[in-house]
């Protein structure tokens, strides 16, 4: 064990996908259950894949990127299985896959069992109360990202049970002001471009603080409520520096139709109609917030109740 001393520590431990084991899927642990990362590494290091007919679980961007990885290896999945009524990735990606590549997408379907003793021979999915068996030789669990925040969780730093990452303010500072966090350790999940730019922005904030700029404003918690799942950063210092365009991001916990509102000191300063998909990321216009005058900030989603059938575009399978 080695101990190193530092004036500032930046936590950027990223994110990981949850495996079939952590998703509590019933199986006899046969060989043939992979994460996206494992599939990408197999192809990168061995130039081949150890299966021919996998089933993909999940329909996030990364799930469709697995379809492209398989295509590169001359393979196509047997099917994509998604528990929500719509793909998590945009509609056009789903259409291009189901119509263009003719890959079946089972929506509102959940994986109930992986079949096989030594190796995977199929999966059982549950759809509208029915059980369907699909023959396959591998299962690829995609998405369902979780911040790799065990370091922060086991430490004295305040941790957000909604993002599953450390809480930060607009200086990327954690509850202990010598610690900073940026990138996907903060929440599930942004693209690599955003994670990289967050790292740069955090590095600039750390340099400023080490050079004597000491933020001292009052800590204002940003309030967020269902169906919005979380908000990051969780705190804004007032007075304090203006948030930058990478900051104040939220995510839908489920599909919903309504108006998203940003309410500052009791006044609506911004609102927008949104027809949101489950897990859709929401970027909020930070320029409207004046941290010098901030006493209270709430992000609300006021739902417009319409019949469920209008929300579902379940027309693939």
Ligand X SMILES: Cc1cc2nc3c(=O)[nH]c(=O)nc-3n(C[C@H](O)[C@H](O)[C@H](O)COP(=O)(O)OP(=O)(O)OC[C@H]3O[C@@H](n4cnc5c(N)ncnc54)[C@H](O)[C@@H]3O)c2cc1C
DSSP conformation letters of 95-106: HIIIIIS---EE
Among 148, 160, 169, 229, binds ligand X (CB under 6 A): 148
Site size toward ligand X, by CB under 6 A? 19
Compute the least distance from the CB of residue 5 to ligand X, in Å.
17
Q: Which of 158, 108, 103, 111 is nearest to 128 (CA)?
A: 108
**Least separation in angstroms between CB 138 and ligand X:** 16
Give the residue with the Cβ less far from ligand X, 43 or 151. Answer: 151
Among 13, 19, 244, 257, binds ligand X (CB under 6 A): 13
Q: Of residues 14-53, which lie at the interface with ligand X (CB under 6 A)? A: 14-17, 36-37
- Residue placing its CB nearer to ligand X in the complex, 189 or 297: 189
Whether the bond between 144 and the residue before it is cis, its omega within 30 degrees of 0, is no
DSSP, collapsed to helix, strand or coil, labels residue 153 as helix
Q: Which is closer to ligand X, CB of 238 or CB of 250?
A: 250
Output 115 or 138, the one with its CB closest to ligand X.
Answer: 138
Give, in order, the Cα–Cα distances in Å from 297 to each of 4, 25, 165, 288, 312: 38, 40, 21, 11, 32
- When the beta carbons of 16 and 254 are compared against ligand X, the nearer one is 16
Per CB under 6 A, contacts with ligand X among 171-230 are 183-185, 189, 191-192, 195
Candidates 8, 9, 12, 19; binder of ligand X (CB under 6 A) is 12
CB of 168 to ligand X, least distance (A): 13
Q: Output the 3-class SS for 6-70.
A: CCCEEECCCEEECCCCCCCCECCCCECEEEHHHHHHHHHHHCCCCCCCEEEECCCHHHHHHHHHH
Cβ proximity to ligand X: between 68 and 302 the closer is: 68
The helix (H) or strand (E) run that includes residue 267 is: strand 267-276
Q: How far is the CB of 162 from ligand X (least distance, A)?
A: 18
What is the nearest approach in angstroms of ligand X to the Cβ of residue 121?
Answer: 25
Comparing CB distances to ligand X, the nearer of 150 and 293 is: 150
Does 163 bind ligand X (CB under 6 A)? Our answer is: no
For ligand X, the closer CB: 11 or 289 = 11
Structure tokens at 169: 């303010």
CB neighbour class for 15 (10 Å; exposed up to 12, middle 13-18, buried from 19)? buried
Taking the complex as a whole, the smallest distance from the CB of residue 106 to ligand X amounts, in Å, to 22
Task: Please state the length of the chain.
Answer: 317
Q: Which two tokens stand for residue 157?
A: 């730093």
Q: From the CB of 189, what's the least distance to ligand X, in Å?
A: 6
Among 65, 108, 244, 312, binds ligand X (CB under 6 A): 65
Query: Cα(27)–Cα(20) distance, rounded to whole angstroms?
Result: 9
Euclidean distance between CA atoms 45 and 34, whole angstroms? 15
Q: Which residues contact ligand X (rule: CB under 6 A)?
A: 12-17, 36-37, 62, 65, 148, 151, 183-185, 189, 191-192, 195
């Amino acid at each position: 064990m080695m101990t190193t001393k530092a004036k500032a520590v930046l936590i950027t431990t990223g994110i990981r996908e949850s495996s079939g084991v952590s998703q509590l899927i019933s199986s006899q642990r046969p060989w043939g259950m992979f994460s996206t990362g494992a599939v990408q590494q197999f192809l990168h290091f061995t130039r081949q894949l150890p299966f021919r007919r996998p089933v993909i679980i999940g329909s996030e961007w990364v799930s469709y990127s697995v379809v492209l990885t398989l295509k590169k290896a001359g393979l196509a999945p047997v099917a994509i299985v998604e528990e929500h009524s719509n793909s998590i990735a945009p509609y056009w990606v789903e259409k291009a896959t189901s119509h263009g590549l003719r890959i079946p997408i089972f929506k509102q379907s959940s994986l109930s069992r992986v079949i096989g003793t030594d190796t995977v021979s199929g999966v059982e999915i549950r759809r509208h109360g029915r059980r369907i068996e699909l023959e396959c030789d591998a299962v690829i669990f995609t998405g369902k990202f979780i911040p790799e925040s065990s370091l922060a969780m086991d430490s004295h730093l305040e941790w957000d049970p909604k993002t599953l990452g450390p809480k930060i303010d607009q200086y990327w500072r954690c509850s202990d002001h010598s610690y900073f966090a940026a990138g996907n350790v903060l929440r599930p999940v942004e693209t690599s471009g955003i994670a990289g730019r967050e790292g740069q922005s955090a590095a600039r904030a750390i340099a400023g603080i080490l050079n004597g700029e000491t933020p001292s404003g009052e800590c204002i918690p940003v309030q967020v409520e269902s169906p919005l799942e979380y908000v990051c950063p969780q705190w804004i210092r007032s007075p304090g520096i203006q948030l930058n365009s990478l900051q104040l991001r939220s995510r839908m916990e489920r599909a919903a139709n309504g108006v998203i509102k940003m309410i500052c000191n009791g006044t609506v300063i911004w609102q927008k109609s949104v027809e949101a998909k489950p897990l859709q990321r929401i970027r909020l216009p930070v320029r409207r917030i004046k941290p010098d005058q901030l006493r209270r900030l709430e992000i609300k989603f006021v739902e417009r109740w319409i019949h469920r059938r209008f929300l579902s575009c379940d027309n693939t399978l």
